[in-house]
Amino acid sequence: MKLICIGDNVVDCYLDEKVYYPGGNAVNVAVNAKKDGAERVGYIGVFGDDEEAENIIRDMHEEGVETTRSRKVYAPSAHPGVRLVDGDRVFVKGKRDTCQHLFSIKIVEEDISLIKEYDLIHTSCYSNLENELETLSSLLDVAFDYSDRMDDEYLSRTLKYVKYAFFSASSLSDDEAHEFLKHAHCLGGSVIGLTRGSRGAVFYDGKDFYSQPVKFVPPVDTMGAGDSFIAGFLVKMADGYSMKDALDYAADVSAATCLVHGAWGHPHIIR
């Protein structure tokens, strides 16, 4: 399987430890997909012009992720702050005048030529690519992480271009989760997934519901656990696994991520 991830990159700044780690949904899915055995993984994003951006790129290359066709702009990298509370990450808002907030990617002919070399696109609600989804979906199947974006206007605008849709809503009951998944499927997604923290995940393919319990480990850091779940699921589905087995694998790698500092390691000192 060849996966191209398009979208956000950040440095997650652990304020108490005075270190930062490379991150961002698109980056984390890319790196984890490569760890999960994807044949080729690429990333297209907008990088800042600071040392942090250089470190993100270097770390991604060390993990085997290509960054061809990424952009570089005169702006700082996004720096969300993080504090750990009993192993769970709590975000502290950082500056907004960053490359992540000020710039979005316009898909051009040269991007299209590269994207066609892959099998699947992954992006997210953090990547400012909603206006490019129609173009992207005409090239390859699209996987999209909605996080907690569940409003009908947004779903109606985007789901018709998405094959794999991932949501996060820990507060939903089983009945509410099933109703939401059926509703989202009607709007266009082929496979809709909903993760609910410690309550596990529920997926729907238009015919059957699939429940996946959490593989509990004493967490060191939950950063990136959801992104590694997505990556593991996508890679194994592409490998021909059944939905049940792909979800089981995704739960395994998600649990393993909770034993790592940062989304996938590579700490750097905050200067």
- Residue 166 — very low, low, confident or very high, per pLDDT cuts 50/70/90? very high
Q: Which residue has the higher pLDDT, 93 or 260?
A: 260
Compute the average pLDDT of residues 146-174: 96
Residue-range domains of the chain with CATH: 2-269 (3.40.1190.20)
Q: What is the mean pLDDT of residues 161-166?
A: 98
**Looking at residue 89, what is its pLDDT?**
67
Mean pLDDT over 151-177 rounds to 95
What pLDDT is attached to residue 87? 61
pLDDT at 91: 79
Quick one: what percent of the chain has pLDDT higher than 70?
99
- Give the tens place of pLDDT for each residue, 53-98: 999 999 999 999 999 999 999 999 999 998 877 766 677 877 778 9
The answer on pLDDT for 12 being more than 70 is: yes
Residues 182-189 have a mean pLDDT of 96
Give backbone dihedrals phi and psi of 112, rounded to 5 degrees, phi first: -60, -40
pLDDT for the residue 37: 98
pTM of the model: 0.96
Helix axes of 25-35 and 51-62: crossing angle, nearest 10 degrees: 20
* Tokens, residue 128: 């400012």
Average pLDDT over residues 207-233: 95
Contacts of residue 269, Cβ cutoff 8 Å, sequence gap at least 6: 18, 19
Instruction: Give the mean pLDDT of 23-51.
Output: 98
The reported pLDDT for the residue numbered 191 is 98
Average pLDDT of the residues in 176-197:
96
Q: Given this model, what pLDDT does residue 211 score? A: 97
Res. 161 pLDDT band, cuts 50 70 90: very high
- Angle of helix 25-35 versus helix 243-257 axis, rounded to 10: 110
Length of the chain: 271
Lowest mean pLDDT among 6-20, 93-107, 132-146, 232-246: 93-107
The C-alpha atoms of residue 155 and residue 146 are separated, in whole angstroms, by 9
Question: Average pLDDT, stretch 232-244?
Answer: 98
Task: Give the pLDDT of residue 227.
Answer: 98
CA 81 to CA 10: how far, in whole Å?
10
Mean pLDDT to the nearest integer, 194-220: 94
